[in-house]
Amino acid sequence: MSSNASPTQPSLIRARMTGPASALLRLRMRHVMENGQRRDAAGRPIPAWHIREFTLTLNGQPLLAGQFGGGISKDPFLELTLKGVKAGDRLQLDWTDTQGAQRSDRSEIQAS
């Protein structure tokens, strides 16, 4: 594992109210995201290792689910506008990578 990104490092989840019932959500999933096409200094292929799938829930209800492939860069970043939310609502991000590692992180929507 790389020293600057691994399943042990928390994802960054920041959500702040931007209106009476809307919030701006920013997610950074910390992972090296190796595509499997590079070689190390000795010329050996570096195996693919990236987030395979992720889910985001709001107050325990599914909000977003997706899959990544090898073409996504290190530490994937997503920015979303959420509607029909309020300060204190709970967010949870779960992901699994191609080596079976899993990560789960939580946050709450903050007041503006």
What letter represents residue 69's amino acid? G
Number of domains comprising the chain: 1
**Is position 3 within any domain?**
no
- Residue 27 · residue 103 · CB < 8 Å: no
Digit-coded pLDDT (tens) for 62-87? 999 999 998 999 999 999 999 999 99
Residue 2 belongs to some domain of the structure: no
2 has pLDDT over 70: no
Is 84 a member of any domain?
A: yes
Question: 6 in a domain, yes or no?
Answer: no
Which two tokens mark 109? 């929507």
pLDDT over 50 (residue 48):
yes
Note whether residue 4 is domain-resident: no
Residue 33 belongs to a domain with what CATH number?
Answer: 2.60.40.10
| pLDDT above 70 (res 21) | yes
Average pLDDT in the 44-52 region? 95
Contacts of residue 41, Cβ cutoff 8 Å, sequence gap at least 6 = none
pTM: 0.89
**Could you tell me if residue 112 is inside a domain?**
no
Domain that holds residue 101: 12-105
67 assigned to some structural domain: yes
Domain-embedded: residue 111? no
